[in-house]
């Protein structure tokens, strides 16, 4: 099992933004993983810092692109903690 690393503040905020927008669309993390072609465990691992920065960047970018498309916006705007979790 890969050792967890400390996520950067930007990565953590991106994860929070993805989770918030997924909730807005009533999309579970499991459904998001399925849409992106990953396992649930892989996406949960990315969300908790289990993978490298490069792998994390790839999955977060794919999730943001998917959510932006589903929301009908150009990009997913970060919230910087101003919405309840």
Count of beta carbons in the 10 Å neighbourhood of residue 17? 21
Span 15-50, pLDDT tens digits: 999 998 999 899 999 999 999 999 999 999 999 999
Which helix or strand (DSSP H or E) is residue 57 part of? helix 53-71
**Residue that wins the pLDDT comparison between 84 and 21:** 21
Grouping H, G, I as helix, E, B as strand and the rest as coil, residue 30 is helix
62 pLDDT higher than 90: yes
Mean of pLDDT values over 73-82? 68
For the chain, the straight-line distance linking the first and the last C-alpha, in angstroms and rounded, comes to: 28
Alpha-carbon distance 27 to 75, whole Å? 17
Confidence band, pLDDT 50/70/90 cuts, at residue 82: low
With pLDDT > 70 as the criterion, what percentage of the chain qualifies?
A: 87
Q: Is the pTM of this model over 0.75?
A: yes
């Amino acid at each position: 099992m890969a050792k967890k690393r400390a996520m950067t503040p930007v990565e953590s905020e991106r994860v929070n933004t993805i989770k918030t927008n997924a909730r807005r669309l009533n999309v579970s993390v499991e459904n998001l993983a399925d849409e992106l072609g990953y396992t649930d465990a892989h996406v949960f691992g990315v969300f908790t810092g289990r993978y490298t920065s490069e792998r994390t960047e790839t999955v977060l970018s794919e999730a943001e692109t998917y959510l932006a498309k589903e929301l009908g916006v150009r990009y997913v705007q970060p919230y910087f903690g101003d919405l309840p979790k």
